[in-house]
């Protein structure tokens, strides 16, 4: 997997009024709009990298039927670069500005979108569309739960983030050494639950982040980008795990 979290830190203890106000609604709408635009850009890039022969052959190895067999050297770099960048950003972007957070967001979106061309080479178009719609509906419901709940989900989020990184480790081990389809299915089931939970928990964290930076224009810009990145990665990973479980293969 090339597209795991995390870039947003848990807010420190603050006294927050959890009532919904116009500023919060505008902030959350900005986060969702940026996330939606990121998904649109990723989808366009995925179409290009799976459909344009010159680009496709630079990133992927395919068989005679146009089905993915593996990555080229360049493709492997593109696929794993988001993971490395996210890890580095956790140490290098403790106090992100709006500009650096925006650069991080669009870099991850571009790299993930390019690597998602593999989806178009593995699954039928009908299954990609249907699973995307299921993911969008699930995301909407889960994010609404995180937005409206009064329960503190911060401990739950921390547990799930650790679970996500453990999931990465197992998937990498399986991809390079074990090659077990059964293990991939098991990890995909776990991944669905992990990222479903993260959508709710991190929506709440993004909401709380608004109260932390409200009134600070620079902080609001950085928070919008980092919140969008967090939810974007949750969406993409949930989509990919659902495709593994339910997508129609082109093979």
3 lies in a domain?
no
Q: What is residue 96's predicted lDDT score, i.e. its pLDDT?
A: 82
Q: Which of 65, 70, 108, 61 is nearest to 87 (CA)?
A: 108
pLDDT tens digit sequence for 91-140 = 876 778 999 999 999 999 999 999 999 999 999 999 999 999 999 999 99
| pLDDT at residue number 215 | 81
157 within a domain of the structure (yes/no): yes
Q: Quick check: is 82 in a domain?
A: yes
In-domain check, residue 6: no
3-state class (DSSP) for residue 149: coil
Domain containing 129 equals 22-246
Is the CB of residue 27 less than 8 Å from the CB of residue 205?
no
Q: Which of 79, 84, 52, 77 is nearest to 66 (CA)?
A: 52
Asked if residue 203 is part of any domain, the answer here is yes
* Burial (0-12, 13-18, 19+ Cβ within 10 Å), 2: buried
Q: Is residue 13 part of a domain?
A: no
Residue 2 falls inside a structural domain: no
Residue 77 pLDDT greater than 50, yes or no: yes
| Tally of domains in the chain | 1
Tokens 């995925």 correspond to: 46
More confident residue, 55 or 8: 55
Provide the percentage of residues in the chain whose pLDDT is more than 70.
91
In this structure, is residue 10 part of a structural domain? no
More confident of the two residues 250 and 204: 204
Spatial contact of 237 and 121, defined as CB atoms under 8 Å apart: no
């Amino acid at each position: 997997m090339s597209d795991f979290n995390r870039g947003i830190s848990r807010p420190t203890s603050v006294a927050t009024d959890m009532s919904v106000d116009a500023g919060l609604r505008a902030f959350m709408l900005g986060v969702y709009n940026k996330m939606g635009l990121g998904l649109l850009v990723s989808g366009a890039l995925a179409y290009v990298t799976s459909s344009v022969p010159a680009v496709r052959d630079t990133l992927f190895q395919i068989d005679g039927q146009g089905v993915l067999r593996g990555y080229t050297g360049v493709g492997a770099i593109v696929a794993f670069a988001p993971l490395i960048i996210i890890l580095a950003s956790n140490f290098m972007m403790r106090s992100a500005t709006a500009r650096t957070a925006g650069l991080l967001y669009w870099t991850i979106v571009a790299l993930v979108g390019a690597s998602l061309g593999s989806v178009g080479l593995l699954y039928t178009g009908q299954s990609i569309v249907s699973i995307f719609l299921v993911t969008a509906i699930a995301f909407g419901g889960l994010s609404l739960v995180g937005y409206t709940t009064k329960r503190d989900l911060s401990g739950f989020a921390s547990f799930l983030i650790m679970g996500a990184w453990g999931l990465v480790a197992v998937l990498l081990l399986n991809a390079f050494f074990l090659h077990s389809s059964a293990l991939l299915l098991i990890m995909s089931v776990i991944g669905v639950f992990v990222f479903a939970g993260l959508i709710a928990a991190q929506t709440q964290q993004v909401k709380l982040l608004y109260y932390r930076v409200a009134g600070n224009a620079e902080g609001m810009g950085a928070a919008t980008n980092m919140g969008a990145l967090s939810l974007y990665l949750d969406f993409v990973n949930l989509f990919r795990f659902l495709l593994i479980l339910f997508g129609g293969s082109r093979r």
